[in-house]
Structure 1
Amino acid sequence: MAIPYQPSLPQQIQLARIEQILQQPNIPQTTLATIYYDRGLLHDSLGLRDLARLDFNNSLKLNPNQPDLFNVSGVIFTQMGMFDSAYESFDSTLDLAPDHPYAHRNRGIALYYGERYELANDDLLPHYQQDINDPYRVIWLYINDLKLVPQQAQTLLQQRYAASDKKDWGWQIVRMYLGEVSEEQFLTDIAEQSKDNEQLALRLTEGYFYLAQRYQQQQDYPTAIMLYKLALSGNVYEFIEHRLSLLELNRIFTVEQNATPVETASPTA
């Protein structure tokens, strides 16, 4: 287990400095928009989502031409299950910056959670083709393929793995999905090969999330819930895997509640 992330001294100092700057009069509108955006990113990195959204909204009112801000807002909307708002945010990002490096992936993930698997593929596949050596692009294509073309998903994953350079650590997740590495060995390697607590926390957040995905696909919800909670335990708020663990837990609990029959009172004589 990694020691959970804690607010760092530089983060706290930066927040204090921003508060001081905001007390100054006659700040130019474009500068104020940047300040709100920077503070929103800080709040988001500390898990303060509502404060982040407030800052982002203030920033957008002052300067609506901010593709990165729309992208971050879309990720937060996805985490909250507000998919239509997420799609609109990512569309705005791509309208302003058609070559944005993450908006297609993030919109594809939002479409996946919105159960629009063909549209998700339309975003995730070109995104993968731009860099076939990025394991996370392969992983998200595979997760979507399990819904879109379940009988072909494993074969496609194997083909994309074979075509890659296999250098990034994330390919270990793909090897685990392909059965080349056991789950026990997968977690042992993370513990033994992480150079410090920070790297351990990052890799465990990813590892637990993608393991949970496997168990969720198998409808082993108790194990999936445990793993999603472990993915949250490192406090790596900025990672998409941390954000989506919250979403997945809410989805599982909703399914379980809907599947539980409602008890009715017995009629009285």
Structure 2
Amino acid sequence: MLLRKLLITSGIVVLLSACATTPDHPARDVTDRNEVEVRDSAAQLYLVEPLPADQNLEFELLQLTELLYKAELDDEQRAQLLHRRAMTFDYLGLPTLALVDINQALELKPGMAEAYHSLGIYYAQAGEYQGAFEAFDSVIELQPDHEFVYLNRGLAAYYNGQYELALGDFADYYFQEPSDPFRVIWHYFAAYQLNPGRAYEQLTEQWEFADGNAWGQMILRFLVGEIDDETLVMAAFENASDQRELAYKLCEAYFYLGKVAAQQGLYYQAMNYFKLSLSTNVFPYLEHRYARTELNRVRDQLRVQ
């Protein structure tokens, strides 16, 4: 359920009517269709103004660049600054420039675990899974207690179709902090690929105890069927303190709404949700990183129908 390019002012709520029946025809290109996806109740897609570029990050980028060109630095210091600039590029939605800095940082400091972790994320996002696994394995070798490496290696395995490996990594990540709802969510998605019924049983056993994040708990309530699509989206609007926080919440909400729509075979609706997630411009969130991957997976499903 997520994305698109729409011109909208802050706070305006727009209702999109786009649901549908798929005729009994062979596969067709998703860009050439007249059918409309039908659901028991039409999906209401509420839009948020995309996040603008953060001026503080732009100033930080200028300062880091100036230091890299003008300051006298040893290899350790230059590698650290390059990685910091890479993360700034990343937050501004400039992944190619970030990747260049990450590789330069690793040339200067080959044992830099955080740079390998960033490299693995970029390889996974680009679909270069073997490179991602090698980078994440380097992180584990250099820093076995890294907080997020099992999450991100699990994501690489998940999107490469290696669901048992993904489930193992997501389990390791989950047991580090079972109260984190997002750890429950990803364990569920990997388990669903192997045994949907058992995955749902585990989800219903775990979700109430995963109360370490109130917003994540709302997403879990949706996944177990306690609330519907519209209630989840409206909760984002009601509980956000400003437009920035609203964009963060909707980036996540639309992504997980899209995941569930795709599981239910509501492919056009899923595509809308993934597009909505992308439109928030919340570049650092994994939901934004993988929304395009999910969008392409849905398109592949439609082509083989």
Fold equivalence (TM over 0.5): yes
Alignment of 1:120-199 (within 5 A): 120-165=166-211, 167-199=213-245
| Paired residue type of 2:184 | V
Summarize deviations over 1:201-228 as a string: whole Å, max 9, x none. 0000000000000011122211111100
Summarize deviations over 1:2-45 as a string: whole Å, max 9, x none. 22112222111111112222222643111111121111111111
- The runs of at least 4 consecutive aligned structure 1 residues that moved more than 6 Å come to none
More helix by percentage: 1
Q: With CA pairs under 8 Å and 6+ residues apart, which has the higher RCO, 1 or 2?
A: 2
Alignment partner, residue 101 of structure 1: 147
1:73 aligns with 2:88: no
- For the 8 Å contact 1:134–1:168, the answer to whether it is kept is no
Match of 1:5, SS? coil
In the TM superposition, residue 167 of structure 1 has moved relative to its aligned partner by 4.9
Number of positions where the alignment pairs a residue of Structure 1 with one of Structure 2: 259
Match of 1:195, SS? coil
- For the 8 Å contact 1:4–1:234, the answer to whether it is kept is yes
- TM-score normalized by the length of structure 2: 0.81
What is the rounded CA distance, in whole Å, between the counterparts of 2:81 and 2:211 in structure 1? 40
Q: Residues 21 and 163 of structure 1: is their aligned pair in 2 closer, same or farther, counting only changes over 3 Å?
A: closer
5+ residue gaps, structure 2, are 1-46
Alignment partner, residue 219 of structure 1: 265
5+ residue gaps, structure 1, are 261-269
Q: Residues 163 and 11 of structure 1: is their aligned pair in 2 closer, same or farther, counting only changes over 3 Å?
A: closer
In the TM superposition, residue 250 of structure 1 has moved relative to its aligned partner by 2.5
In the TM superposition, residue 165 of structure 1 has moved relative to its aligned partner by 3.6
In the TM superposition, residue 169 of structure 1 has moved relative to its aligned partner by 1.5
Alignment of 1:1-269 (within 5 A): 1-24=47-70, 26-165=72-211, 167-257=213-303, 259=304
Match of 1:216, SS? helix
What is the rounded CA distance, in whole Å, between the counterparts of 2:211 and 2:301 in structure 1? 39
Q: Residues 25 and 137 of structure 1: is their aligned pair in 2 closer, same or farther, counting only changes over 3 Å?
A: closer
| Paired residue type of 1:160 | Q
What is the rounded CA distance, in whole Å, between the counterparts of 2:132 and 2:286 in structure 1? 14
- TM-score normalized by the length of structure 1: 0.92
| Paired residue type of 2:98 | A
- For the 8 Å contact 1:39–1:52, the answer to whether it is kept is yes
RMSD over aligned CA atoms reads 1.5
